[in-house]
Amino acid sequence: MEEKTTFQFMQCISLLKATGRKAKSVRELRDRISDVSDESIFHHTYQYFLKGNLLEYTNDFAQWAGESIEDNALSERLSNIDLYAFRDINSLRQELRKVIDEHLDVFPEPKEAMPTDEFYFNETVTFVFPVGTRATNLAEFLTALRYIDTASVYYHFYEARMRLGGGIDDFSRWVEEVFGKKELAGRIRAIDPFMHDLEEIKKHIIEEVEEEVRKDMEVIDRCLISI
């Protein structure tokens, strides 16, 4: 029972591994996306925000298109892909290819990257481990949030969306399932994962939980006064 009601903060670290695959053109990018490993697709999409990249984009493919070959039209289309709308990597892979194919139908001879600006495909080996911090109530949860590393925020807010599906993260699921706080859970889920970096995500979650803790304290104070 205690395990179900206790929130254990986890953290992940990723070790980068080069694949030796690269692309200098949009066509090559499309071909490599077709045959690289699921781990590589995952790294260049879902782990984008773990790396502290530009918020103008939502994945490495979009950033490369916008920054290295200055193809803003393709970059925008790739950035508009909702990563969390797909149930598995293969479905996302198909969508990436579809977007690129449609772009090539309109722009059949896109610009190539300059030497050293090619897209280099990588993979990561990810390790997940507990950070030694737990919370059994919202006050403890709030205190922990203030001190945890952003890698923990990534694991519970971004990576959880792949594990749980439906746009649900570990934080909102816990406050809803354990305390029945559906409104707080809804506010946490409403934080746009594509519009903020990890520090901002952490700040917004803290603000929402802090407000909820304050409301709970006011209710307790009113109850004590009425006794």
- Residue 21 contacts by C-beta under 8 Å, 6 or more apart in sequence? 32, 36, 40, 120, 121
Higher pLDDT, 90 or 226: 90
What pLDDT shows up at residue 1? Answer: 45
Average pLDDT, the chain: 91
Q: Which residues, 6 or more positions from 182, have their beta carbon under 8 angstroms from its beta carbon? A: 176
- What integer is the mean pLDDT of 135-145? 96
| pLDDT single digits (tens) 105-126 | 999 888 899 999 999 999 998 8
- For residue 156, report the phi and psi dihedrals to the nearest 5 degrees: -85, -25
Among the residue ranges 27-41, 44-58, 129-143, the one predicted with the least confidence is: 44-58
Q: Which helix (H) or strand (E) holds 129?
A: strand 119-135
pLDDT in tens, 45-85: 998 888 776 678 999 999 999 999 999 999 999 999 999 88
pLDDT (mean) for 196-224 = 85
Residue ranges of the domains in the chain?
2-10+129-226, 14-123
